Amino acid sequence: MSTGITTAGGGAGNQPAGPVPGKGLHAGILDLGDSVMLGLASTAPVYSLAATLGLIVAVNGNYTPLILVLGFIPVLFIAYAFRELNSAMPDCGTTFFWARRAFGPWAGWLGGWGVALAGVVVLANLAQVAGQYLWLLVGDGSLAENALLVTATGVVFIAFMTLVNYRGIRLGEHVQRALTYVQYVSLGIFAVAIIVGIAGGTGGATTTQPFDFEWFNPAGAFADPGAVVHGALLALFIYWGWDTCLAVNEETENPSKTPGRGAVISAFVLVAIYVSVALLVMMYASVGTEGMGLGNTENQNDVFLALKDVVLGPWGWLIVLSVLASVLSSTQTTILPTARGTLSMGVHGALPPRFGQVHPRNQTPGFSTQIMGAAAIVYYVAMSVLSENLLSDSISSISLFIAFYYALTGFACVWYFRGTLRSSARNLWFQCILPLLGALSLTAAFFISAVQMWDPAYGDTEIFGVGGAFVSGVVLLALGVVLAGVCRFLPSTRDYFQGRQRVSARP
């Protein structure tokens, strides 16, 4: 296995970093199609729509399609930042490695913590949903209300997907492809049934709702700026996950180019899926507040579950299967970037060396994968036992972690390339203007979300007069500062913080 030395952090600024030493991962096994598939899978698009569409409609009504596009814009700008940084420094540590090169060791460590934290917390959510949806397919679905059974099932799902990732990237790709087929074939059947219903005038509402270009009119939407901001925040975070493409860059063909292209392509495909499905569902069910209307509070938590029997009749279980496949798919692909992020941190000295070990036969980050899976299980079970409401609120705080590390990546892109921005219009736009706009937007999203979460009425719990989602988010982010402080003085990691970081040998 290769070894090598990298320069200390602190903003090279003018020139790309050069080749990143290999870590022992299975190089070149993924192509552009695999990269795009992983990017799409990580976002769990079917589940994201099912769980979020009704909430956006409740705030923005007919302007929901426009809001989905507005939420996409900052994400696209950050995708360009990921692409540019990956082109210069294709390291599987992504935000950790790039922030360290731009701003130094502390920024890098906290960026890596943000990635890992978002992954572990969202795995608890995915496990919960996967457990519920599996038992919705059994009998009359009443088993989905058994909290102990759902929690145990979620733990099994996390353990199984951890094993899949541990055994090798090719096995994971095969599992991912099968889940993708199930997910999109089922969603396709659902969409066709909706189109037939619209054409026949037999939608879920009293009458179907015809398409109207007014739904994309910014002037109409911004008549209520507060609603636009609220809806865009909801829409913004359903795009999260495409950066998995970059986390597997060292296992992808042409690692400096293909992962970045995969990220941008998957981002565009996502917005196409979200907007087109939202339009179909709106036209079929309307945004009304009664019956099957998307504005009905009884439908907001899962619009697909509310519509499945009306749209598909006895085949309604297909859309349940689609959501289940979506969640399982995202469970597997969420473990990928978290494990590779801590692998990179171990290799570059930010975590103890064991995190940097790659399994010699499977060519996967064996120890890091096991730790991420175990951390997700412990967190999920502990929070479920402590309080399901607190679990729900802690999951809501994921938006803070995502906004944090996405914004950090955008700022890192601008600062790292600051010396080459004047060399061409392309560099100015893709390495500065767009990443900076994306970073500023996400910074604003971070603080707006934090203010909203402060309100005890935001979620299901209240801690010392403050919303549980806010407390959970702040405590978990602060824990990263504490752990970084501990690593600052550990013999195995203090060289990283003192700028004497080296790449360790991998067995």
Convert 440-451 into a string of H (helix), E (strand) and C (coil): HHHHHHHHHHHH
Could you give the C-alpha distances from 371 to 3, 116, 398, in angstroms and in order?
A: 24, 11, 20
Question: For residue 460, what are its two tokens?
Answer: 């299901």
Q: Give pLDDT tens digits for 138-197.
A: 988 899 999 999 999 999 999 999 999 999 998 988 899 899 999 999 999 999 999 998
Name the percent of the chain lying above pLDDT 90: 66
Q: Give pLDDT tens digits for 340-392.
A: 999 999 999 999 999 999 999 999 999 999 999 999 999 999 988 887 777 77
Mean per-residue pLDDT over the chain, rounded: 89
Q: For residue 467, what are the β-bridge partners?
A: 462
Is-contact 332 165, C-beta < 8 A? yes
Of 2 and 420, more confident: 420
Question: For residue 438, what are its two tokens?
Answer: 């994306």
Which residue shows structure tokens 């950050």?
Answer: 78
Could you give the C-alpha distances from 142 to 149, 218, 278, 436, in angstroms and in order?
A: 11, 43, 29, 49
d(CA 477, CA 383): 17
Q: Residue 430 corresponds to which amino acid?
A: F
pTM listed for this prediction: 0.91
| pLDDT, position 465 | 86
| pLDDT, position 203 | 58
Helix (H, G, I), strand (E, B) or coil at 121: helix
Q: Give pLDDT tens digits for 69-102.
A: 999 999 999 999 999 999 999 999 999 999 999 9
Q: Give pLDDT tens digits for 42-60.
A: 998 999 998 899 889 989 9
d(CA 32, CA 351): 31
Q: Are strands 466-467 and 462-463 parallel, antiparallel or unpaired?
A: antiparallel
**H or E element: which one contains 466?**
strand 466-467
Q: In this model, does residue 506 exceed pLDDT 50? A: no
For residue 253, the 8-state DSSP code is S
Is-contact 274 49, C-beta < 8 A? yes
Could you give the C-alpha distances from 214 to 139, 195, 272, 332, 387, in angstroms and in order?
A: 43, 21, 18, 39, 44
Q: In this model, does residue 501 exceed pLDDT 70? A: no
Q: Give pLDDT tens digits for 280-298.
A: 999 999 888 888 888 888 8
**H or E element: which one contains 130?**
helix 105-136
Residue 7 burial (10 A CB sphere; 0-12, 13-18, 19+)? exposed
Q: Give pLDDT tens digits for 287-329.
A: 888 888 888 888 888 899 889 999 999 999 999 999 999 999 9
Is-contact 209 203, C-beta < 8 A? yes
